[in-house]
C-alpha cells in the first residue's frame, strides 16, 4: 500500500524532493527541533531538566536512567528512540529523519555523528534526499568522533573505535575501527588480552 504522508514516505526510504508539495511538513518540524535544540544548548540544565527537554524534542518520554551532556544537535528529533541506561556525551549530532534507535545500556562518546539521511548520486536529483534507519543495539559503545552512515546496525556488545566511519553493519560482540570501519577482534579476544595484561602486572608486584 502506498504511503500517504511525506513522513511515512521518507521513513520508507523514498527519495524526497525539496519541491514536494508536502515538504512544508518536514520544514516545520525542522524549525521546531531547532528551537528546542537552542534551548537545550543554552545555559545549564539539571539532568532532570535535560531529560524533560529531550522528551519534548523526541515526543516520547525517556527513562530516568537516560543521561545526556549538552551540547546536542539534531535536524529533526521526532525519530529518535532511546532505551534505559543510555548515555550520550557532549557534542553529538543525530540526523534522525530515517530513524535512530539506541537500545538499553548504549554508550555514545563525544562528537559522534549518526546520519540517517543521504542524497542521490545523480546530479539532477542531488538536492533531494533519502533516508535509512540506524540501530545501535544493547550494550554497544561508540568511541569519540565515530560517524555511522544510513542503514547501519551496530550489534549487541560491539565497540566502535574512536574516529571510525561505519558504512556496514557491525556484528554482535566485535570490535571494529578505521575508515571505513573493519573488524579488529572479538570482545572475547579483547577480554582475554586484558586478563593476560592484568595477570602480568600482578606478577610484577
Q: Is 94 left (phi over 0), alpha (psi -120 to 50) or beta?
A: beta
d(CA 54, CA 25): 21
**Location of C-alpha cell 570501519:** 181
- Give phi and psi for 12, each to the nearest 5: -85, 5
Instruction: Tell me whether residue 119 is one of the annotated catalytic residues.
Output: yes
**Span between the terminal Cα atoms of the chain, in Å:** 69
Whether the Cβ atoms of residue 113 and residue 134 lie closer than 8 Å to each other: no
Catalytic residue, chosen from 119, 126, 127, 168, is: 119
- Mapped onto helix, strand or coil, the DSSP state of residue 124 is helix
* Active site residues per annotation: 119
Amino acid at each position: 500500500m502506498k504511503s500517504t504522508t511525506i513522513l511515512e514516505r521518507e521513513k520508507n526510504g523514498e527519495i524526497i524532493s525539496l519541491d514536494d508539495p508536502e515538504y512544508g511538513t518536514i520544514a516545520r518540524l525542522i524549525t521546531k527541533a531547532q528551537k528546542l535544540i537552542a534551548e537545550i544548548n543554552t545555559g545549564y540544565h539539571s539532568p532532570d531538566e535535560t531529560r524533560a527537554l529531550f522528551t519534548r524534542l523526541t515526543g516520547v518520554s525517556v527513562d530516568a536512567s537516560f543521561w545526556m551532556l549538552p551540547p546536542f544537535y539534531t535536524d529533526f528529533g521526532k525519530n529518535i528512540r532511546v532505551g534505559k541506561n543510555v548515555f550520550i556525551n557532549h557534542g553529538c549530532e543525530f540526523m534522525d529523519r530515517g530513524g535512530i534507535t539506541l537500545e538499553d545500556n548504549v554508550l555514545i562518546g563525544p562528537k559522534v555523528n549518526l546520519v540517517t539521511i543521504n542524497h542521490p548520486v545523480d546530479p539532477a536529483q542531488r538536492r533531494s534526499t533519502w533516508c535509512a534507519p540506524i540501530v545501535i543495539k544493547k550494550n554497544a559503545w561508540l568511541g569519540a568522533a565515530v560517524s555511522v552512515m544510513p542503514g547501519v546496525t551496530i550489534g549487541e556488545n560491539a565497540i566502535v573505535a574512536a574516529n571510525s566511519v561505519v558504512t556496514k553493519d557491525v556484528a554482535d560482540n566485535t570490535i571494529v575501527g578505521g575508515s571505513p570501519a573493519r573488524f579488529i577482534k572479538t570482545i572475547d579476544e579483547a577480554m582475554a588480552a586484558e586478563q593476560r595484561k592484568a595477570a602480568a602486572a600482578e606478577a610484577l608486584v
